[in-house]
């Protein structure tokens, strides 16, 4: 839960870790962060300090107020059992960010189908401008780097430490957060 005006700081304590963030309006959880609207209105792929994160109803839910890295992803869906099955060929895949978010959001009556594309803090996706081909590269974050978001309305927020090998350069580390 993040009240309007509160600041959420997401910290990468050891570097090269990714944290998937989703946020829902507390007043009506059908209102949720929207990758498509946010990137469209910003006319760019990489959001950073000063940029708003819009909802599916074009309201600003969060604003990035400080960012020591400047490279995050807002295109790719949270990793899931299906990600590990389809991309990595795992026969017994783990839950991933999606499964963890699903469990964490259950008490708020938010179902799996309502989980949007996450704002993937520190995730470094390179894009070939001609072909559009995507590559997940190691994050640019170093130990202690952080990104701060201000809640522009009362929110329910889900946050994970990502367990997809590509997105954290094959080392699985924690993510810290503070609310102030």
Identify the CA nearest to 17 among candidates 165, 179, 125.
165
Please tell me the count of residues contacting Zn ion according to CB under 5 A. 4
Nearest-approach distance from CB 164 to Zn ion, in angstroms: 4
Nearest-approach distance from CB 176 to Zn ion, in angstroms: 17
Nearest-approach distance from CB 44 to Zn ion, in angstroms: 23
In eight-state DSSP terms, residue 160 is -
Nearest-approach distance from CB 158 to Zn ion, in angstroms: 12
Q: Cβ closer to Zn ion: 25 or 167?
A: 167
Q: Cβ closer to Zn ion: 97 or 157?
A: 97
Site for Zn ion in 53-82 (CB under 5 A): 79
Contact 71, 122 (CB under 8 A): yes
Identify the CA nearest to 17 among candidates 179, 145, 105.
145
Among 69, 121, 159, 162, binds Zn ion (CB under 5 A): 162
Contact 20, 2 (CB under 8 A): no
Site for Zn ion in 81-110 (CB under 5 A): 97
Nearest-approach distance from CB 17 to Zn ion, in angstroms: 10
**What does 29-46 look like in DSSP terms, one character per residue?**
TT-BB-HHHHHHHHTSS-
Stretch that binds Zn ion, among 23-31, 39-47, 123-131, 164-172 (CB under 5 A): 164-172
Angle, CA 97 vertex, CA 40 and CA 17 arms, to 5°: 85
Per-residue contact flags (x/-) with Zn ion for residues 107 to 146, judged by CB under 5 A: ----------------------------------------
Among 164, 166, 168, 175, binds Zn ion (CB under 5 A): 164
Alpha-carbon span 82 to 89, nearest angstrom: 9
Contact 30, 115 (CB under 8 A): no
Q: Which residues are near Zn ion by CB under 5 A?
A: 79, 97, 162, 164
């Amino acid at each position: 839960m993040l009240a309007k005006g509160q600041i959420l700081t997401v910290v990468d304590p050891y570097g090269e870790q990714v944290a998937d963030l989703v946020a829902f309006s507390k007043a009506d959880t059908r209102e949720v962060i929207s990758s498509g609207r946010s990137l469209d209105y910003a006319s760019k792929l990489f959001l950073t300090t000063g940029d708003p994160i819009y909802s599916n109803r074009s309201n600003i839910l969060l604003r990035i107020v400080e960012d020591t890295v400047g490279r995050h992803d807002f295109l790719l869906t949270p990793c899931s059992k299906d990600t590990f099955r389809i991309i990595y060929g795992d026969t017994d895949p783990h839950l991933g960010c999606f499964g963890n978010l699903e469990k964490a959001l259950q008490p708020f009556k938010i179902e799996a189908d309502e989980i949007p594309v996450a704002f993937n803090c520190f995730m470094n996706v390179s894009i070939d401008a001609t072909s559009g081909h995507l590559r997940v590269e190691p994050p640019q974050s170093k130990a202690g780097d952080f990104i701060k978001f201000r809640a522009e309305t009362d929110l329910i927020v889900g946050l994970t430490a990502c367990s997809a090998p590509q997105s954290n350069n094959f080392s699985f580390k924690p993510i810290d957060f503070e609310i102030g």
